[in-house]
Structure 1
């Protein structure tokens, strides 16, 4: 759990993903389209990826756990949560506030 929290707080935007997950790919693409360059941690390519996924499951309390998105060190949620924020217009402002994008 400590490793996940450490990585989540290192950059303004952090996404934990799996390289084979289509929703993970969509969320990464959304962030790039908004002008953010998130730190992306592909858990299926990390040495301790399975442990990190279990830690995320503890934080999120649900399954599937990926993608797991953090902005400004704060857990935002999974794909559904991020898309909801994007639809209501608040995702971009959160990224600006966290200095993940500048305007």
Structure 2
């Protein structure tokens, strides 16, 4: 869990993903369209990826990817991010975390 938290704080927006996961790619694309440049950490390319995936499960992330953090805080998985985008709160969170500027 320490590694997940440490990596989540390295960028204003961080997405934990797997290179073959289409929802992870979709969330990353959404962030880019909103003007953010999120950090992306692919668990399948990390030797400790399985441990990190277990830590994400303990946070309640099911499925475990994509797991999105904004401002170092866990936001949720794809469904949570899309819901936040639809109600307008995603952009506000990204602005508060200084992941985007308007």
Please give the TM-score of this superposition, normalised by the length of structure 2: 0.97
Matched, 1:50 2:50: yes
- RMSD value over aligned CA atoms? 0.8
| 1:63 Cα offset (Å) | 2.8
**Quick check: 2:62–2:77 contact (8 Å CA) kept in 1?**
no
User: Which residue is 2:96 aligned to?
Assistant: 97
User: Which residue is 1:19 aligned to?
Assistant: 19
What secondary structure is seen at the aligned counterpart in 2 of 1:5?
helix
Provide Cα deviations, 1:9-55, integer angstroms capped at 9, x if missing partner. Answer: 11110000001011111000000100100110000111111111111
Q: How far apart in 1 are the matches of 2:62 and 2:5?
A: 19
Q: Name segments (4+ residues, structure 1) moved above 6 Å.
A: none
Q: Which runs of 5+ in 1 are unaligned?
A: none
**Quick check: 2:14–2:69 contact (8 Å CA) kept in 1?**
yes
Q: Which runs of 5+ in 2 are unaligned?
A: none
User: Which residue is 2:63 aligned to?
Assistant: 64
Size of the aligned set, in residue pairs, is 102
